[in-house]
Structure 1
Amino acid sequence: MVNILNIDNMKRVLTILGAFLLITHATSVAQKQLSVDQLYEKARIAAFDEGDYKKARGYAYSALDRSPNYHGIRIFVGRLFSWEGKYQKAREELTYVLENDPDNREALLAIIDVENWSGNQRKAMQIVNRAINYYPEDNELLLQKASIFYKLEKYEESEEVYKKILRSSSANREAREGLQEVQLKQMKYKVNVSYRYDYFTDIFDPWKFSEFGLTRQTPYGSIIGRIQYAQRFGSDGTQFNLDAYPSITEGLYAYISGGYSKSSIYPEYRFGISLYKSLPSSFELEIGMRYLDFNTSQTDIYTASLTKYSGSYLFTLRTYLVPSQARSSKSLSLIVRRYFGSANSYLSLNGGFGSASTTTDIQFPQDIQTLDSWSLGIDGQYPLSERLFIGGNAGYDSSEYPNFTRKRFSFKAFVAYRF
């Protein structure tokens, strides 16, 4: 009985194996009956209509077995590998073509893409320059060159190539859009003007604040000069500030700030420093301190924050610690920001609580003398154009002091212009 079952199983296996061999043989015969061009057409259908790159390469290699110097098919195979991120295999196929046909335009374009996509922009630039020697007025190659210059952060060179294309082809949309993008990237200055009005439910008269700022982008980070003017407690005063965000190394940058004022309503001197470190999984850690000198007293403030970037959202959790011999103060705040298409268009919600200020702009003695405080706010920015931005914020906070509770509504508007 067992032998009969074994014989039946062997028959089934042999039947399946035979069917497989017949199908394979039939497929091989069918492919041999097709012409090289027909195999190429089937390869393109498999790739573009079916999205099956492996099947497409099977047809393509069958064609190349019969016609190894059919460069169009080999370039197609190289493109397939590059679309899958298999850059070394793509290089091998395209290099074969260029060794036999050095000025093959399609092979040159394809291998430029391979080097560009794999992050080898300098190698891509070498190849594009070689290609332009063969085809000096080829706009597609010139667009590649401008794009590579842009990735190498050589914006002036990129701009010149785009302008060259537009001199001969003024309607070239890619060149016009590329030129606009690279010109925006070269805008090194931003000027902003803001006004803030604080209204108190009792005790205090309104406070008013104005600010003028100028930002300069440099290869080492941004530098910001600010002039602040305030009206508080029946007095007014001006404070001068200089802020910088120097880049230290990849994934690490700093914030350095200093300010001076002769007015009694501002600190005479203020200094600040923070370090920002990028972490895995789109996190960023900040640690820093602030120093305020009010002439009659000095205050150290320590801060730390953890930021998470998730798609179009940003989440920042921040704490402040103000050491004191009598009683240390601390606070915790959260910011949730939603971006709309770019970093220049966003809306934020924020809130915090604690015995220190829950805002990021601590600069008055009252900000660090509270017993208990909490705040809620909303802010945003909207680009009217690539150069012009408007924005503002509104908030409410309640701060408890030894003899009273201060309740405040705050409103701020600003306009900024890049050039």
Structure 2
Amino acid sequence: MYFNHTVIHGQNFLSLAKTYNLSPNIIASFNKLSLGVNLREGEVIKVPAARTNFFYRLQPNSFHEYIPVFHRVTENGPLSTISKKYGIPDTTIQRMNSLSTKTVKAGDQLTVGYLKIRKDYENISNAPTRPDTISPAASSSPTSTLKSTAALQDTTISNEPDVNSDKLFEQARRIAFDKKDYATALLLCFQALKKSPDYSDIRIFAGRIYTWTDKLDSAVAQFNYVLEHEPDNKDVYVGYSDLLYWNDQYSKALEVCDKGLSYYGTSKDLLIRKVKILRALKRPGEAQEVLEQLLKIDRTNTEARALLQRNKDEVLKNKLGMSYEYNYFDKQFNDPWHIASIDYSRQTKMGSVGAHLNYANRFRSGGLQYELDAYPHISKYFYSYISGAYSTNVGVFAKYRGGFSLYSILPKSMEGEVGIRYLYFSDATLIYTAAISKYYKSWLFTARTYITPGEKSTSHTYNFTTRYYYGGADDYFLITLGRGISPDETGAVLLNNKEFDKLVTLKTTIGFRHEFKKKYLLTLDAGWMNQEYRPKTKGNQLSTGISYQVRF
């Protein structure tokens, strides 16, 4: 395989050898010329591919540049056809191009290797300083000097004039996102910038690649170049503020973000970044104002809605609430159940801490339960839930009740949870739980399961909940569909662990929540359960509830 090089004024075999990492003898011999011959301007010299200048893997260093070499597929067929043409294992081509199959289609452009050249090479007019299409050579074959390079065959590289900056940029994005091959993506970016030095989108993308690879000074240089030449470019403020935020330079990130907002005051990309920066700076009040502004611009903004509830809890640190629930049974019990609670919680530096006094009247008997819970922060992406409760009225309540969950804030406005619940009536029951939540526009979807190992079998509970937000973080309609019961449901018939293992229940709940004057919350809900309380004997349970909360 070889590459065509067009000679410019002053070049000779020695300068070409230095550029292409070969000896002058190999280049001269390959072209059937003597070393002493003078090369003419415009003459085409074949530069052979050898072990010293052509590779199947990048080997970055400070002295050389690696130019991707491409083959454009002309007809559908197996990858082995191209593999045989270049003497490269098909598995190597498959790896370089992240192909899922060994079949290729006409029009595909495949990387078949990398040409290594010196970074300080001379200004060669037709040297392959950008990726081009490889096609079979029309003539010539390797000389004896290349017999040791058995994996290479005769090929020429054509310098196509239609490979413009846009195509190089498109290729760089594909390689960066699909293959995570940032070194090659950067090479393509700078090859494009040689053609179009003021192409801001490419320069910003190069800055982002430097950000992802922790080359912060290089990233800043690219962003500053764009700011100097195009100070009203929105994307550069987005990229620059991301770099600073991810590297904990929050004050500087806020300056960059505010500068961008001075040009684009309603930019959703910049507003959501400002929220995150303000939260990192422990300024939740200002973050709340920006979130409310953003949701007025775009009520369906998923990321803003996911942040709104967490941020609101940090603005109004105290919550005082009360609730009441009424449960009616058509068969299982003659008397209704009444459940009420008074709650107080406070947001602290460690997270939310709360106390609950719960009252229940069940089986014509009343009782109290004393409960504490907390939601400690662990990091930017993790927090937890811890609770413990005690009651002297066993039967009305479990004597002991506890719980722990670990929450993870996931990409794409998702949240995950794994946890455990503990109940003790006359003996102990452990219940494992897991959930996944996803915000989508004005919707929140949550799927949850509870798994209770028993002596003879394992009980499973499944719930699916949907919320539709019609306003702020506390303005929504809710519906839950489920099978089985859980220890987190106050009205569920959890008498003891033995009976709990046997429960088979279908249920649905609808709810409504509304916020008044940014600090008063009213919640209404109603539910239906169809529960098998004895083998092949089912009964219905109807419930309704109301709660009121004040934040201050």
Q: TM-score range by the shorter chain?
A: 0.5 to 0.7
| 3-state secondary structure, aligned to 2:412 | helix
Question: What are structure 2's unaligned runs of at least 5 residues?
Answer: 1-197, 201-225, 258-273, 288-310
Alignment of 1:91-130 (within 5 A): 120-123=249-252
Contact kept in structure 2, 1:267 and 1:363, CA below 8 Å: no
Greater shift after overlay, 241-250 or 231-240?
241-250
Match of 1:384 in 2: 516
* Aligned equivalents of 1:274, 1:194: Cα separation in 2: 24
Match of 1:262 in 2: 392
Out of 461, 464, 474, the position equivalent to 1:334 is: 464
Match of 1:210 in 2: 340
Deviation at 1:352, TM superposition (A): 0.7
Out of 404, 417, 421, the position equivalent to 1:286 is: 417
Contact kept in structure 1, 2:285 and 2:315, CA below 8 Å: no
Match of 1:143 in 2: none
Q: Does 1:192 align with 2:321?
A: yes
Change (3 A) 1:150 1:280: closer
* Aligned equivalents of 1:287, 1:312: Cα separation in 2: 25
* Aligned equivalents of 2:411, 2:275: Cα separation in 1: 29
Alignment of 1:32-47 (within 5 A): none
| 3-state secondary structure, aligned to 2:335 | coil
Out of 438, 442, 448, the position equivalent to 1:312 is: 442
Out of 396, 406, 417, the position equivalent to 1:275 is: 406
* Aligned equivalents of 2:539, 2:317: Cα separation in 1: 42
Contact kept in structure 1, 2:237 and 2:256, CA below 8 Å: no
Contact kept in structure 2, 1:125 and 1:148, CA below 8 Å: no
Change (3 A) 1:402 1:280: same
CA deviation string 1:137-162 (max 9, x = no partner): xxxxxxxxx99995554449979xxx
Alignment TM-score, normalising by the size of structure 1: 0.59
* Aligned equivalents of 2:482, 2:362: Cα separation in 1: 24
| 3-state secondary structure, aligned to 1:80 | coil
CA deviation string 1:189-231 (max 9, x = no partner): 0111000000111333100011111111112211111110000
Q: Does 1:411 align with 2:544?
A: yes
Contact kept in structure 2, 1:357 and 1:368, CA below 8 Å: no
Alignment of 1:233-244 (within 5 A): 233-244=363-374
Change (3 A) 1:257 1:396: same
Q: Does 1:80 align with 2:210?
A: no
RMSD after superposition: 3.8
Contact kept in structure 1, 2:339 and 2:360, CA below 8 Å: yes
* Aligned equivalents of 1:407, 1:147: Cα separation in 2: 47
Deviation at 1:242, TM superposition (A): 0.7
Contact kept in structure 2, 1:332 and 1:358, CA below 8 Å: no
Instruction: Tell me which amino acid in the other structure corresponds to 2:532.
Output: E
Instruction: Tell me which amino acid in the other structure corresponds to 2:398.
Output: P
CA deviation string 1:76-134 (max 9, x = no partner): 965412x233578xx9xxxxxxxxxxxxxxxxxxxx9x989x99542267899xxxxxx
Contact kept in structure 2, 1:371 and 1:401, CA below 8 Å: yes
Contact kept in structure 1, 2:487 and 2:494, CA below 8 Å: no
| 3-state secondary structure, aligned to 2:252 | helix
| 3-state secondary structure, aligned to 2:341 | strand
* Aligned equivalents of 2:493, 2:503: Cα separation in 1: 17
| Residue-pair matches, total | 285
Deviation at 1:244, TM superposition (A): 0.9
Give the structure with the larger helix fraction: 1
Deviation at 1:326, TM superposition (A): 2.9
Out of 433, 455, 458, the position equivalent to 1:303 is: 433
Alignment of 1:332-411 (within 5 A): 332-354=462-484, 356-357=485-486, 360-361=489-490, 364-365=494-495, 368-402=500-534, 404-411=537-544
| 3-state secondary structure, aligned to 1:365 | coil
Contact kept in structure 1, 2:458 and 2:501, CA below 8 Å: no
CA deviation string 1:312-364 (max 9, x = no partner): 2111111111111133211211001111232111111101114x549645683
